[in-house]
Amino acid sequence: MNHIEALRTPDACFADLPDFPWTPRYFDNLEGYDGLRMALIDEGPSDAEHVFLCLHGQPAWSFLYRHMIPEFLMVGARVVAPDLFGFGRSDKPVDDDVYSFTFHRQSLIALIEALGLQNITLVVQDWGGLLGLTIPPDMPDRFNRLMVMDTVLGLGGGTTEGFEAWRKFHGEHPDYDMAALFQKYVPGMSDAVAAAYAAPFPDPRYRGGARRFPFLVMTKPDMEGVEVSRRAATWWSSEWQGDDFMAVGEKDELIPPWLMKRMHEVLGLTRPPMMLPDAGHFVQETHGAEVARAALDAWNSD
């Protein structure tokens, strides 16, 4: 990969994050991504029986999982929560054209291989699912459980009214107030938490990923990522033999409950989804600990 010009959010921007005490780990030598540094939270025993790989979406970062991480650690698991390039503490390419489905998907594959992760519980939301759900078919021996929240596979079959409004907003207001956006979608969010979500983006130069991602969602059949997503859908429904858990925010306007129920069918999941009447798109933010405990209880009862 040719040299990619990127920015690195100053550490001072991440001072005093509420309920997020973990020290980040950094990779600056991922295969195919020389010169770019990826940040991640990597907590728990390196030889743990289960590894929770928590993948965030746009415009969030690993901070999104701060209510779930303690629940997973309490059962002796290892938790790996990376920041996608362009988000969180990871480097942020300044050229918006760098951001693509393949660029991000391959970076996650490279991370899994670099860490040697096995016995993975894949935990996904938003773009974490658009990317992450396509990976297990290419390395099936590494994954044995799936936890899905407010996400889809990008099959190129259309969109929703709520997502079109999201995409339109990003097109018309590329340098929007990040903290205000989170407070809009999560009513009652404190100023301190909203500021933490906005911390990775101190000025518009850092926002390439946040600007670009809404326009990469595969809503048309000829878009990058549709083919691999369709192959993944076939694999999940016909070959996946691991355990699963789905939680649905019933107030989600971007990925409404009817679409999540459709995804339940597409993925061939076996458990009825956990419906959350008061939750919106960011289930981890509002109901993270509750959902984590419910999934763990379900799996432990088998």
Catalytic residues: 126, 252, 281
Closest by CA to 170, choosing from 200, 202, 203, 207, is 207
| φ, ψ (nearest 5 deg) of residue 59 | -105, 40
Positive or negative torsion for Cα 12, 13, 16, 20: negative
Is the Cβ–Cβ distance between 41 and 28 less than 8 Å? no
What is the chain's percent helix, strand, coil content, to nearest 5? Answer: 40, 15, 45
Is the Cβ–Cβ distance between 231 and 222 less than 8 Å? no
| φ, ψ (nearest 5 deg) of residue 82 | -80, 155
Q: In angstroms, rounded to a whole number, what is the distance separating the alpha carbons of residues 20 and 29?
A: 26
Positive or negative torsion for Cα 38, 178, 161, 278: positive
